[in-house]
Each structure stands twice: as structure tokens, then as C-alpha cells.
Amino acid sequence: MQFFWISGHPKTEHHRRPSKFLSGSMTLKNWIFLEEYSEAGICYMLAKKNNDGPLYRWEPLASRIHGYEAAVYRQNAEKRCKILAASEPMGILPLEKPINHQDKLWIGWEARQGISPFSPNYQAPDLPRLIRDLYPLISSFEQFHYRGALVGRPDWHRLYHNDSGFYIVDPWCRPYLISPDTPLPPGLEACRTPESYFGDPHSQASDIFYLGLLIYVLLTNHLPFALEDGWPTTAILKGEIIPITHYRPELNPGINRLLNRMLSLKKYERPTALQVKLFWKDMIMRENYFATDAEKVIHLKKYRQELKNRSIRKYSIRVGLILLITTIAFISGRYMWQSFNREPQITQELIETFYHNHTSMLASSVTSGDSLFQDVIEARNQRLQLITELLGRPVIEVKNLAIKKRSPKQAVVEVHVLWWHWSGGLWRKELRQEFLYLKRNGRHWQIEKRYQHPH
């Protein structure tokens, strides 16, 4: 196996340059810095503690922070280092206390050799070795929880494998550093815990979800969730997990049941880190890695039936949506059609407006001059001679009306009108009976004929 440095690139590919601390090496707060390197746009330094122990890798923060923000960051970093000081760096590399150099804060951790499992040069070992090499990572999650610390969302670009097993850099530093350019399985970077979509804070149950995702991906190199437009969000929120036996049918079915609980949609259904650790340790001690032939067949049938049920549910939902949309469209169209074709009402306002428009002095241009209102025209011309007297006096007043005949397209209305005449220097009134013939025009009535009942 070819070993890589912590970033996942071969040491021979690093671009080395003399450290800016001193030519050669320099001691800074009990650290001896050896060389400064640059790779893939990431600048880092290698250092030792007083010439003893392993090498450590130091990287600067991706952006400069000053004043209060820097003080808070340093305080939180030192607090986390203190909590995890007594833990063994098995599967999660703990961080060192930050140092200040060249107006930047630097973060350090053990520069352990390893290769990214997502690297094109990575060769995965056999299944028993994979399962054994996952134990240090699982054990570190349990140690973090035992000390009251949360692991957080892993930095998939800083996940490595060597002879001692799988390990990651403490994810606490992930937001502050530039991630290496490591190719990842499609959709992995977009995976989040279900509760995070609802604004719930990160918890130990969230750590278990990410640990289950780590185990699943490292054993299969696939995601446990189907992608929709390149995103696993829909499957995560529905709790639709692809059984790991779909990709690795030879696996112990107990692993499948454990991962289904770890990736559960509901937080309270997930096991604790200690339960996962004990299960994994027992499986390794018993070397119970593989499923029997009968178990393989059972799991295959169950998964096929689950796929069939999902297809039926999706089809039912689609058909239901189509029927619902069709029903809504039908009801809306029917309502609009009824509204448009609703028979308009014949009101006194309609009749009064009709007479007013043809008798008003300002509406002389409206009258066409035909026989329908010839008598009104003559009366209005007579009014023009008595304009002073006519001010404020109506020519016709509608006293009463009654609908005599009505059909969807036609109607006959009886109207009693009071005529006012100026005769002999006096106002004289005369009550007349008239009939109006109306014809429907869309949503309105139009008066077609007018007939005066003879005296």
C-alpha cells in the first residue's frame, strides 16, 4: 500500500520550501518546526514536540480573525483540547492548542500517514479487514461522548485509512480550514441529519447518524439514500434507507439492522455510541462477519418487496395528485361557467337608469332619434324652452314595476311612470302604464322595445 501524508497526497508530490520561522528549524512554545509545505493551494508546516514523538501538521485558518472573535475561537479550541487531552487518538485525531504566527492562527494535529478511501489509488482490503479497521473510529466516537463532547459533521476530505484503521481529523476544525480537493461519492457532501432540516441542534444522536453514514459508505462506497436530482434530501426526510445488503449481500444481517437504526429518521430510535462499540467488538471477537446463504435470500426478497411497495406508494401518490388537481380544475371551471352564465336580475335600478339616460339633458347625443323614444325627445325639447323651471324637476318618475313574463333570453316588464308636464303655467302630472321588452345580452339585459298602454 502506498502511504500518503495527512492531506491524501504523496509526500513526494509536496512542494517544500524553507520555513519562514528560521532557516533550518525553530522552537515556538515547545514546538520545533521543521519545514513548510504547499500542496493543492493549502499551506502547512510540520513540527515536533521537543524532538520527541510523532510529527504534527499545522495549517492556518482559512480567513483571518482578530480581536474578540480570535479570543473566542482560541478559548473554545483550548477548551476542546483540554476535554480530549486524556483520550487516545485512535480514530479521531485530536487538535493541539492553536498558535499565533505571522498574524494568523494555526491549527495542528498528528501528521499520521494514510490514504483517502475515495482516492483513485486506494485499494480496499477484504471485508473482515474493513470491519476490523472501522473499530478505532467507532471507539473514538464512544470516547468523545463519554467525555461529554460532540464529534460533529465529518470532513469527508480528511478521512484516511492506514494499517491501524480508519481515522479522521477532529471535525471541529472543519469550518476554519480549506478542505483538500478529494473526489467524493455523488451526494455525500450534501448528506445531513434529518433533524437539522427542522432546525434542531447537533446532538449525540446526530453523531450516531454520521457514524452510521461513515460505516455504510466505507463498506460499500455507496450512499444509503437514493439520489433525486443529485440530492439525497428526499430519501433522508422520508427515512428510505437502501439496505447495505443490497451492495454487500455477504454481510452479517446484524450490521444491516444496526445501520438501519443508526440512520433512522427518528433520533430516539438510534443506538448510543457505546452500544455500537459493544456490538462491533463482539462481532470482531466472534469473527461473525458473513451472512448464511438463507439470510442472503431472505434479505434479497425483503428488499425487492420493499422496492415494490415504494413503487406502489409513489404511483398511488401520483394518481391521487392527478385526481385531486382534476377535481379542483373541474369544480373551478364549473363555478366560473355558472358565474358567467348566471341569469342577471331585472331591478328597478336598471329601469330607472334606462329612463334617466334617455331623458337627461346631458344625454341628448345618446338618443338615436328612432320611434322608441320620440315622445321623450319631444318632451325634452319642450323642456329646453323652460330650462329654468326644469332645473331639479324630473320629466318621468318610476313609481312601480312588475315582471310580467320572463324566460332565460327575454323578459317583459310592466312600469308605472309619473309624467310631469308644464301646461298653462302650472306643473301637471300624469300616471301612465308602460311595457318594456328586454333581451338578454351576456350578463346584462338590453331594452329592445317600449309600449305605452293606451288611456
DSSP string, 355-396: HHHHH-GGGTTT---SGGGHHHHHHHHHHHHTHHHHTT--SE
- Max CA distance (Å), the chain: 134
- Count CB atoms within 10 A of the CB of residue 141: 24
Please give the single-letter amino acid code of residue 163.
D
Which whole number is the average pLDDT over 295-312?
63
Contact yes or no for 172/152 (Cβ under 8 A) = yes
Residues in the chain: 455
Residues 28, 23: Cα–Cα separation, whole Å: 14
Set out the domains of the chain in order of their start, with CATH numbers.
348-452 (3.10.450)
Confidence of residue 368 (pLDDT cuts 50, 70, 90): very low
Q: 173-196 pLDDT, tens per residue?
A: 888 888 888 889 999 999 999 999
Exposure pattern of 13-29 as b/e (b: 16+ CB <10 Å)? Answer: ebeeeebebeeebeeee
* Composition of the chain by helix, strand, coil, percent to 5: 40, 25, 35
Q: 233-247 pLDDT, tens per residue?
A: 999 999 999 999 889
Residues 19, 59: Cα–Cα separation, whole Å: 13
Residues 273, 292: Cα–Cα separation, whole Å: 27
Q: In sequence order, which ranges of 109-221 are alpha helices (DSSP H)?
A: 127-133, 135-146, 204-220
Instruction: Give one DSSP letter per residue of 251-294, joined into a string.
Output: B-HHHHHHHHHHT-SSGGGSPPHHHHHHHHHHHHHHT--B--HH
**pLDDT reading at 407 higher than 80:** yes
Q: 66-106 pLDDT, tens per residue?
A: 677 777 877 888 888 877 776 666 899 988 888 887 777 88
Residues 115, 160: Cα–Cα separation, whole Å: 5
Q: Which of 404, 430, 428 is nearest to 415 (CA)?
A: 404
Residues 151, 203: Cα–Cα separation, whole Å: 9
- How many CA atoms within 13 Å lie on the side-chain side of 351? 26
The pLDDT value recorded for residue 188 is 95
Give the 3-state secondary structure of residue 433.
strand
Contact yes or no for 398/417 (Cβ under 8 A) = yes
The pLDDT value recorded for residue 9 is 41
**pLDDT reading at 447 higher than 80:** yes
**pLDDT reading at 324 higher than 70:** yes
φ, ψ (nearest 5 deg) of residue 447? -80, 120
The pLDDT value recorded for residue 299 is 59
Residues 15, 444: Cα–Cα separation, whole Å: 87
Q: Which helix (H) or strand (E) holds 184?
A: none
C-alpha cell at position 90: 485512535
DSSP 174: G
Q: What is the pTM of this model?
A: 0.63
